[in-house]
Amino acid sequence: MLQLKNVSKNFGGLPALSDVSFDVPRGKLTALIGPNGAGKSTMINCMTGVLEPSSGEITFQQQLISNLPAYKISRLGISRTFQNLKIFPRLTVLENILTGLSTEGGDSMIMAMLRLPYLRHQERQLKLRAMAALDRFGLTDKANWPARVLAYGDKKRVELARATVGKPQLILLDEPVAGLNAEETATIAEQLRLLRSSGHTMLLVEHDMDLVMEIADQVVVLDSGKCIATGTPAEVRNNPLVLEAYLGRMDATA
Ligand SMILES: Nc1ncnc2c1ncn2[C@@H]1O[C@H](COP(=O)(O)OP(=O)(O)O)[C@@H](O)[C@H]1O
Ligand SMILES: [Mg+2]
């Protein structure tokens, strides 16, 4: 579904990604792992048009996207969450979720003037979908709260609800359970399992190895901007390069 070919990204001459190539297959969950600073978030930023790769190509369903701005990539059906939460603090929880449907509500002014009843109907439908998403993530009670007053764990759930409400073709999740306690992690993990079993295509950046080993179909390992291994969780777990370059170090710092 998504293909990276020799993608590199430099920041002021320093390489954050060097010649990275891998595929994200349709209907599967691909985990992207690697130590801090390996380039995982930079990779997601390149895939979503937040950053433009310095060289290389990213294609989504055979279309070149690495030269497209973020809003166009989003319209093609790629959604994401951010490692450092990006929710709208002054909007309500429900309004935050509705922004995840903004590419579907986009009618012109003329449409708005000529077809008001249709628009009202459409608005109601979008709101129903947003409410259903809130329900899935246990946020119904807080639908009308301003997002800024939510606890950190609830904000993570709002991001995930927003990233999934629009029925995206590809969902990129940057550390969705980072900083959450065991109970909160379990809730999110359950949602990820549901998304996976309903056939969604996902790329998951995650440090929780138990979670990665359990739910990933494929694992891609980055280290210092280079892709050092790809394979099934079992293959990657037993890869000496990975053990040395990543798992060993992570065990040491965990
Ligand atoms: N906007 C930026 N400007 C300069 N350097 C950056 C920027 N974003 C990331 N980097 C650098 O790129 C490298 C990879 O960072 P990042 O993609 O955030 O890693 P990860 O998500 O794997 O922890 C790091 O050395 C980081 O300091
Ligand atoms: Mg990161």
Residue 116: pLDDT over 50: yes
Residue 152: pLDDT over 60: yes
In 3D space, the residue among 229, 189, 191, 194 whose CA is nearest the CA of residue 212 turns out to be 189
The verdict on 39 and 27 lying in the same domain is: yes
Mean pLDDT computed over 210-232: 92
Whether 129 is covered by a domain: the verdict is yes
Query: Could you tell me the CA-to-CA distances from 167 to 64, 176, 250 in Å, in that order?
Result: 21, 18, 34
The verdict on 11 and 122 lying in the same domain is: no
Pocket of ligand 1 contains residue 17 by CB under 6 Å? no
Closest ligand to 176 CA?
A: 2
* Top mutation candidate among 11, 18, 51, 84 for ligand 1, by most atoms within 8 Å of CB: 11
pLDDT of residue 247: 55
Closest ligand to 224 CA?
A: 1
Pocket of ligand 1 contains residue 34 by CB under 6 Å? yes
Average pLDDT of the chain is: 88
Domain span at residue 216 reads: 1-77+169-254
The verdict on 174 and 254 lying in the same domain is: yes
When mean pLDDT is compared across 35-49, 95-109, 209-223, the lowest value belongs to 95-109
The answer, as to whether pTM is greater than 0.85, is yes
**What's the gap in Å between 44 CA and the centre of ligand 1?**
11
Q: Tell me the CATH number at 52.
A: 3.40.50.300
When mean pLDDT is compared across 34-43, 105-114, 239-248, the lowest value belongs to 105-114
